[in-house]
Structure 1
Amino acid sequence: MPKLTIVAFDGTEFDLDAEAGSTVMENAIKNAVPGIEAECGGACACATCHVYVDEAWTEKVGQPDVMEEDMLDFAFETKPNSRLSCQIKMTDDFDGLIVRVPEQQA
């Protein structure tokens, strides 16, 4: 089971065991990580699960696809390492992944 760390805006770290195939968003909701609202439930139809992928992981996680990129236009204070957590599926290759929650969601 890959390890996932989600850092809330206030600096609180949530160290989670993420099931392979689950999304970062699902793990955040399941563990009540503050700041991940996920209003659309993971359908890539909003930007309320926006996270910043740790720079050490951005290349491995990859870039958003066109649909996700369009939704990121609605996110608050995007950066080059911005992703929607509903679109990052955990795999064994992502063991140790770190993401950070922004100050606010769209």
Structure 2
Amino acid sequence: MPRITYIEHDGTEHTVEVGNGLSVMEGARDNDIPGIEADCGGACACATCHVYVDPSWIGKIPAKDDAEADMLDFAAAPTSGASRLACQIRVGDHLDGLIVRMPETQG
């Protein structure tokens, strides 16, 4: 199973195994990782699973679609390029070692 590292705003790291086919958001939820609220449950209808993808991984994940880009307008402190919605990143073996950081607040 791929291992994903979630880094809280204060620097606390959580490295967990996340099943293929789940989203990065579901991996956080299923492992009780703080910092990802996921109010809409993964429907890309809020921005409470906002994460910053580590720069070394930006080119290795699929590009965001228009719906995700629009929803990121509602995220707290988005950054171009690194900001993503964790619910829109599907986990597969190709993401083993992925690192995401959480913002100070989800909105």
Instruction: Could you tell me which runs of 5 or more consecutive residues in structure 1 were left unpaired when the two chains were aligned.
Output: none
Q: What is the TM-score when the length of structure 2 is the normalising length?
A: 0.96
Letter in 1 for 2:14: F
Q: Which amino acid aligns with 1:99?
A: V
Give, in angstroms, the shift of residue 75 of structure 1.
0.2
Partner of residue 35, structure 1: 35
**TM-score, with structure 1 as normaliser:** 0.97
Q: Report if the CA contact (8 A) 2:62-2:89 is conserved.
A: no
In structure 1, the partner of 2:99 is 98
The equivalent of 2:6 in structure 1 is 6
Match of 2:64 in 1: 64
Runs of 4+ in 1 over 6 A off after TM superposition: none
Deviations 1:6-40 (A, max 9, x none): 00111111111110101100011111111100000
- The equivalent of 1:84 in structure 2 is 85
Matched to 2:101, the amino acid is: R
Q: Could you tell me how far apart the structure 1 residues matched to 2:83 and 2:21 are?
A: 20
Structure 2 unaligned regions, length at least 5: none
CA RMSD of aligned residues (A): 0.7
| Structure 2: distance between partners of 1:95 and 1:34 | 21
Alpha-carbon offset, residue 62 of structure 1:
3.2
The percentage of counterpart residues that share the same residue type is 56
Q: How many residues align?
A: 106
Deviation string 1:41-100 (CA, Å, 9 cap, x unpaired) is 000000000000000000111321000001000001101210000000001011100000
Structure 2 partner of 1:23: 23
